[in-house]
Amino acid sequence: MGKLSAEQLSELKSLLEQRKAEIEGRIDEVRDGQSRVDHARDIIETRGSVERQHSSDREVDLALSDMGAVDLARVNAALERIENGTYGECDECGCDIPFARLQIEPQTQHCVACKSRWERETAAVPTARM
Ligand SMILES: [Zn+2]
């Protein structure tokens, strides 16, 4: 605890807030895209079937919003940890995550050692990311 200085913490906090704004912007774009797609679909569907187009659009949109939602949850969790003073500790082994690593990946909850172990263990699941 307390390994990060107040300045470092506030730098990381603003990185996280930036990231949060980016992700929220991206999710909004996906939602806008979705409603445009729905609108177009309504028009087309009154004239005939567009099943193939329909399913590929939906897959893309789902993938995008899932990605944004997961990132956002992680960023929000990191901001919460800043608030309650547990930010910067590895969730797995409890060590202090180096500032340099947090600057690159401020939402991370794991030190490099735990993360690479985790990645080896989940190598068979390419969609899982930390
Ligand atoms: Zn660790």
DSSP bridge partners of 96? 89
pLDDT number for residue 122: 79
Asked whether 89 and 53 are in contact (CB, 8 A), the reply is no
pLDDT number for residue 36: 80
Asked whether 124 and 40 are in contact (CB, 8 A), the reply is no
pLDDT number for residue 55: 64
Cα 65 to ligand 1 centre (Å)? 29
What does DSSP assign to residue 110? Answer: S
Cα 31 to ligand 1 centre (Å)? 36
CATH for 6-121 is: 1.20.120.910
pLDDT number for residue 83: 94
pLDDT number for residue 47: 64
pLDDT number for residue 127: 54
pLDDT number for residue 80: 96
pLDDT number for residue 39: 80
pLDDT number for residue 87: 95
Strands (E), the chain: none
**What residue ranges of the chain have pLDDT lower than 50?**
1, 128-129
Identity (one letter) of the amino acid at 34?
A: Q
Residues with CB under 5 A from ligand 1 (ion): 90, 92-93, 111, 114
Cα(88)–Cα(85) distance, rounded to whole angstroms? 9
